Chain A
C-alpha cells in the first residue's frame, strides 16, 4: 500500500538530548514537510524539502535539523537547542514542485514528550 509512515508513535526524551523522528513515504513524492502541532494552534512548518539533498527552513526551524539523502526519507532531529520540544510532529509529502496547488498527504504523527 502507498503511504507515509512515521516512527516512533510516542517518544520520550530527557532534557539536553537530541532525538530523531523518522518519516518515510512510498508515494514517489518529491516534496516532503515537517510540521509541529501544539494545542489550540494550527500546523506550523519546521522544514520542507523539494528534492533530494535540498531543504529549506520553515517558520520555526530553530532547534531542529533535517536531512534528505533519499527521496523516500526525511528524518527530523530535535536538538537540545529547541527550548520547548514537547509537541505532536506531523510529516507530510506532496507531488513536486512544492506548490500551493498540491494537496499534502500526512503521516500518523509522533508525539514527543520531554521529561
Chain B
C-alpha cells in the first residue's frame, strides 16, 4: 500500500534551535516530493524535489531528497516563533499525490 510517513509528529524547540523534519515514503512510480507549511488554514508551498541529492534552499529552510533510501528531510536553522506551524510532506506518484500526517512544530521564545 502506498504510504507517506512523517516524523516526528510533534516537536517543541526554542528560538535559535535547528530542527530536522523527516518524510519517508513507499509509492510506486515516484515522481516528486513536496513540502508545505500550514499555519492557521491554507497550506503554502515550500519546495518541490524530484532529483536525489540536490538541496533546495530558501532562507533558513532547506530540503533534500534521497530516492535510494526513500526519504526527504526539511531543515530549519535558527528557528523563530513564526516557524511554528504544521509541515506537510506530499509525494506525487503516477497521477496521484498523497500527504503525510504532518509534523507540528512549536517554537518557543
Which of A's residues lie within 8 Å of B, judged by CB? 35, 40-45, 90, 97-101, 103-109
Determine the chain A residues whose CB is within 8 A of the CB of B34 once the complex forms: 103
Within 8 Å by CB of A109, from B36, B41, B45, lies B41
Asked if B71 lies at the interface with its beta carbon under 8 angstroms from chain A, I say no
Residue among A41, A42, A108 facing the most chain B CB atoms (10 A cut-off): A42
Asked if residues B92 and A100 are in contact (CB atoms below 8 Å), the reply is yes
Complex formed: what's the CA distance from A45 to B97 in Å? 9
Asked if residues B95 and A98 are in contact (CB atoms below 8 Å), the reply is yes
Q: How many A-B contacts if CB must be within 8 Å?
A: 54
Complex formed: what's the CA distance from A90 to B38 in Å? 12
Determine the chain A residues whose CB is within 8 A of the CB of B97 once the complex forms: 45, 100, 104
Which of B's residues lie within 8 Å of A, judged by CB? 4, 6, 9, 31-32, 34, 36, 41-45, 48, 50, 88, 90, 92-102
Within 8 Å by CB of A103, from B9, B45, B99, lies B45
Chain A contact residues, majority secondary structure? loop
Determine the chain B residues whose CB is within 8 A of the CB of A90 once the complex forms: 42-43
Residue among A43, A44, A101 facing the most chain B CB atoms (10 A cut-off): A43
Asked if residues B101 and A101 are in contact (CB atoms below 8 Å), the reply is no
The smallest C-beta distance from B49 to any residue of chain A, in angstroms, reads 11
Complex formed: what's the CA distance from A109 to B41 in Å? 6
Determine the chain A residues whose CB is within 8 A of the CB of B99 once the complex forms: 35, 42-44
Residue among A97, A103, A105 facing the most chain B CB atoms (10 A cut-off): A103
Residue of A nearest to B95 (CB): A98
9 closest Cβ pairs, A-B complex? A100-B92, A100-B31, A42-B99, A106-B42, A43-B99, A108-B41, A42-B101, A103-B45, A109-B41
